[in-house]
């Protein structure tokens, strides 16, 4: 490889145990409403305690863990986060008003960007993940796809993304990702590959950074390969090494890939450990939970295998998916930092 793949993450992150999830959700939507009305949210004690501080603290943890391109920390359900404002602030059916398509986390991080830059002497390199148009559509409308409706969802996704594009001395939105975890697993009715390609491209229209599509299976990978706007596909590789596609296909379509090199599916890992004979009372301890994090040797093997298969088409690596299920922030931090340590050691050996 001429260059080493960049280290990014996918998004979701556990809230501190002392912060009630319902309270966070309640204040999240108060924050959203205040931002749409151009209110100063940073003088409000409740919003500071229940929203602003948790988001900034989670973001700083990701940064301290060594993540290179950091997805804003998602503490809220990936569907509600976009479907609720889409319905509350709609310009038309399935279409959010441009000025209301806000990601509060991005606004909050941007407010502190100068302060973070002065503390670290590094500009923020942000990844913005938005639930994709097909995923939003099937969540609300089911599996029968009507192109005109789906294009409105795609336009809404595009508006969230465009309003999150920032580029200054302290802060740069470096990549975006549309999250389509169901794509390839479900049969979509009343549509075809050309229409799905058009829908995906519509969601990324005018976004001139690396555009990723986050998939949990590559079974339908030829559809994003045929898009004009998506240039990086993703896969959950660490949890399933069958999740690969031919490097030549990426070369032929001039696409790249992001590969997960560390498992994140906490519930599966927990269940596997129980099945292997480890008692519940031992697993339900800090040491037991930490034991579920992939070893450095396993992460390194995933990295080497991905590099061997994809070569210079491997552009990003990181954890498989989000980390919300990891009980508390310290465990998520440790997982992210372990990936960083492996990447750092491999880089140093190859200098």
CB 331, CB 18: distance < 8 Å: no
Nearest of 182, 166, 162, 314 to residue 229 by alpha carbon: 162
Q: In what order do the strands lie in the sheet with 314-319?
A: 6-7, 314-319, 256-262, 232-235, 210-214, 171-179, 124-131, 70-71
Nearest of 238, 286, 284, 279 to residue 259 by alpha carbon: 238
Q: What are phi and psi of 229, to 5 degrees?
A: -95, -35
Kindly report the number of other CB atoms within 10 A of residue 170's CB atom: 16
Q: What are phi and psi of 226, to 5 degrees?
A: -85, -5
Nearest of 42, 66, 36 to residue 55 by alpha carbon: 42
d(CA 143, CA 149) in angstroms, rounded, equals: 12
Structure-block tokens of residue 66: 């060594």
Pairing of strands 171-179, 256-262: unpaired
Residue that the structure tokens 């976004």 belong to: 207
Structure-block tokens of residue 326: 């990891």
Task: Produce one character per residue of 267-278: b if its CB has 16 or more CB atoms within 10 Å, e if not.
Answer: eebbeebeeeee
Task: Produce one character per residue of 33-71: b if its CB has 16 or more CB atoms within 10 Å, e if not.
Answer: bebbeeeebeebeebeebbbebbbebbbbbbebbbbbbb
Quote the pLDDT of residue 36: 97
Tens-digit pLDDT profile for the chain (351 aa)?
Answer: 458 999 999 989 999 989 999 999 999 999 999 999 999 999 999 999 999 999 999 999 999 999 999 999 999 999 999 999 999 999 999 999 999 999 999 999 999 999 999 999 999 999 999 999 999 999 999 999 999 999 999 999 999 999 999 999 999 999 999 999 999 999 999 999 999 999 999 999 999 999 999 999 999 999 999 999 999 999 899 999 999 999 999 999 999 999 999 999 999 999 999 999 999 999 999 999 999 999 999 999 999 999 999 999 999 999 999 899 998 999 999 999 999 999 999 999 987
Structure-block tokens of residue 345: 């050691």
In SS3 terms, the chain reads as: CCCCCEEECCCECCCCCCCCHHHHHHHHHHHHHHHHCCCCHHHCHHHHHHHHHHHHHHHHHHHHHCCCEEECCECCCCCHHHHHHHHHCEEECCEECHHHCCCHHHHHHHHCHHHHHHHHCCCEEEEEEEECHHHHHHHHHCCECCHHHHHHHHHHHHHHHHCCCCECCCEEEEEEEEECCCCCCCCCECCCHHHHHHHHHHHCCCCCCEEEEECCCCCCCHHHHCCCCCCEEEECCCCCCCCCCCHHHHHHHCCEEEEEEECCCHHHHHHHHHHCCCCHHHHCCHHHHHCCCCCHHHHHHHHHHHHHHHHHHEEEEEECCCCCCCCCHHHHHHHHHHHHHHHHHHHHHCC
Nearest of 234, 177, 180, 179 to residue 210 by alpha carbon: 177
Distance of CA 87 to the CA centre of its chain: 23
Domains (range + CATH), the chain: 6-349 (3.20.20.210)
Quote the pLDDT of residue 3: 83
Structure-block tokens of residue 141: 């409308």
Distance of CA 15 to the CA centre of its chain: 16
Task: Tally the residues of the chain.
Answer: 351
Residue that the structure tokens 């001139």 belong to: 208
Tell me the pTM: 0.96
Quote the pLDDT of residue 1: 41
């Amino acid at each position: 490889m001429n260059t080493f793949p960049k280290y990014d993450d996918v998004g979701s992150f556990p809230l501190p145990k002392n912060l009630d999830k319902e309270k966070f959700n309640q204040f999240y939507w108060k924050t959203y409403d205040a931002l749409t009305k151009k209110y100063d949210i940073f003088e409000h004690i409740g919003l500071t305690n229940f929203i602003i501080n948790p988001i900034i603290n989670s973001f700083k943890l990701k940064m301290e863990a060594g993540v290179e391109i950091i997805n804003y920390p998602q503490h809220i359900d990936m569907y509600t986060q976009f479907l609720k404002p889409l319905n509350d602030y709609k310009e038309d059916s399935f279409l959010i008003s441009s000025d209301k398509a806000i990601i509060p986390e991005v606004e909050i991080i941007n407010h502190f960007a100068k302060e973070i830059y002065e503390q670290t002497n590094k500009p923020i390199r942000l990844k913005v993940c938005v639930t994709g148009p097909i995923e939003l559509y099937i969540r609300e409308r089911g599996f029968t796809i009507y192109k005109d409706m789906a294009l409105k969802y795609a336009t809404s996704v595009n508006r969230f993304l465009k309003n999150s594009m920032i580029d200054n001395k302290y802060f740069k939105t470096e990549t975006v990702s549309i999250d389509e975890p169901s794509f390839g697993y479900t049969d979509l009715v009343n549509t075809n590959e050309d229409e799905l390609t058009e829908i995906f491209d519509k969601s990324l229209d005018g976004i001139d950074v690396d555009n990723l599509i986050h998939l949990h299976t590559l079974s339908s990978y030829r559809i994003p390969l045929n898009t004009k706007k998506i240039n990086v596909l993703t896969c959950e590789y660490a949890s399933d090494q069958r999740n690969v596609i031919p490097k030549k296909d990426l070369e032929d379509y001039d696409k790249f890939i992001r590969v997960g090199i560390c498992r994140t599916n906490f519930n599966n890992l927990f269940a596997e450990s129980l099945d292997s004979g480890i008692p519940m009372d031992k697993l339900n301890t800090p040491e037991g939970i930490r034991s579920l994090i992939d070893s450095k040797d396993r992460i390194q093997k995933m990295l080497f295998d991905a590099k061997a298969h994809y070569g210079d088409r491997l552009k990003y690596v990181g954890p498989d998916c989000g980390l919300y299920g990891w009980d508390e922030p310290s465990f998520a931090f440790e997982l992210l930092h372990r990936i960083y340590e492996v990447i750092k050691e491999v880089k140093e050996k190859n200098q």
